[in-house]
Amino acid sequence: MKRVIGLKPAEVTGPATQDSAAVGAADHWLPALLKSRAAGMGVPLVLCLMFVIFAALSPHVFFTATNIQVLIAGQSTVLLLALAATIVLRTGDFDLSLSATMILSACAVGVLTKDGWPLPVVCLAALGIGLAAGLVNAFFVVFVKIDGLIVTLGMLTILTGIAGGLTANNLVTTIPESLQHFAARDWLALPLPVWIGWILAAVVWYVFEFTPAGRWMLFIGGNRSASGLAGIRVARIRCLAFVASGLLCALAGILLAGTLGSVDPTSGGGYLLPPFTAAFLGASAIQLGRFNVIGTLTGLYLLAVGIAGLQLIGLSNWIADVFNGGCLILAITAARILRRRGR
């Protein structure tokens, strides 16, 4: 039996002393807030700086409308994957199977078209793959309660294997013409897939910041136990996050097939890490310690500008992988340091 004090504590007469300390602390909560906001501007600032430096170093190649268009268009696929990663990370889970889901959907588009199915059916089937992948992930992670890293690593391997089996590891070239035309169509100087990505980013941003669901996701990621005891349907929301992630990857696959006109079933590896690097960079931007859409977009374009810039000033293709991996580690380190200081 714990007995705190042998005597009755008593009535508060007048303001207790701890109040004055608390009020003293209240005086500087605003500067603290500004400081935390300012810390959130670090990554965007680096992005701007990098852009300016590369523009100055290479005004005629880097800082041209064409290059900037290419740079943005080149990220349309990774943008969707990064959104998918951000959704699952926000609820405190991890989905490594993003790139494999995308590649399998893209392969399915080609294979089903070759078999003579019409485009709407093909697209629905591709989305069905995303849905199925999300549900399987959710089942094992949320209900069987296996570590998400292990489940989705398994899914990554399985889906990559299926894509290989479906295509006999050959390049898939039977992408419908209409899909290719759609993906190549420009609107306001940028191809449609970019706009689709941005619109979906806006939708996810709205859900994250302006709906109860977004708040619940945030809390589930932050403290799952407290969220559950507050009556939030934790399991349901985590499942929905996996499913939304799967669907976004499938859509990315359809658009990838349309954009490239052919799909290499073994090309998933290059898409594995960049979405996570963007999302983790994003968590140390704008809202510190929180996976947020604006942050993810900032992170994504920081990577793109960095890699494009380094290549334009003469470094070859290998720099992309080094830069991606380096940024991932740096992003997580920065997030940890900033959070510690934000306390």
Partner 1 sequence: MSNALVISNLAKTFDGTRVLDDINLEVRAGEVHGVVGENGSGKSTLVKILNGVHPADPGASAQLWGQNLPLSGRPTHGLGMATIHQDLALVDSMSVAENIGISVQFGTRSLSPIRWRQERKIAGALLREFDLDVPVDTLVGELSPAERSIIAIVRALREIRRHHGGPNLLILDEPTAALPRSESSRLLSIIRGLTQAGSAVLFIGHRMGEVLDVCGRISVLRNGTLVATLNAADTSEQEVVHHMLGFDLGEFYPPKAPVTSEETRFEVTSLSGGPLEDVSFGVREGEILGITGLAGMGQDVLPYYLAGGLRRTSGTVRAMEATLDGTPQSAYRAGVVLVPGNRQRDAVWTEASAAENMTLAFVGQFSSAGLLGHRRERDFTRAQMERVRVRPAAPRRMLAQFSGGNQQKLVLARTLHLKPRVLILHEPTQGVDAGAKKEILGLIRQAADAGTAVLLHSSDAEEVAEVSNRVLIMGYGRICAEVSDRQLSQDALLVESQRAGGSRKVTQ
By the criterion CB under 8 A, which residues form the site for partner 1? 1-14, 16-19, 21-23, 25-26, 28-29, 32-33, 209-212, 214-216, 218-219, 222-223, 225-233, 289, 339, 342-343
Identify the H or E element spanning 222.
helix 212-222
Cα–Cα separations (whole angstroms), residue 23 to 14, 15, 19, 29: 15, 11, 6, 10
Taking the complex as a whole, the smallest distance from the CB of residue 94 to partner 1 amounts, in Å, to: 19
In the complex with partner 1, the residue whose CB is nearer, 196 or 338, is 338
Taking the complex as a whole, the smallest distance from the CB of residue 193 to partner 1 amounts, in Å, to: 27
Burial of 130 (0-12, 13-18, 19+ CB in 10 A): buried
Are 62 and 52 a contacting pair, CB within 8 Å? no
In the complex with partner 1, the residue whose CB is nearer, 19 or 186, is 19
Identify the H or E element spanning 187.
strand 186-187
| b/e sequence 282-308, b meaning 16+ C-beta within 10 Å | bbbbbbbebbbbbbbbbbbbbbbbbbb
Q: How far apart are CA 203 and CA 179, in angstroms?
A: 24
In the complex with partner 1, the residue whose CB is nearer, 185 or 336, is 336
Taking the complex as a whole, the smallest distance from the CB of residue 339 to partner 1 amounts, in Å, to: 8
Taking the complex as a whole, the smallest distance from the CB of residue 14 to partner 1 amounts, in Å, to: 8
In the complex with partner 1, the residue whose CB is nearer, 145 or 343, is 343
In the complex with partner 1, the residue whose CB is nearer, 220 or 304, is 220
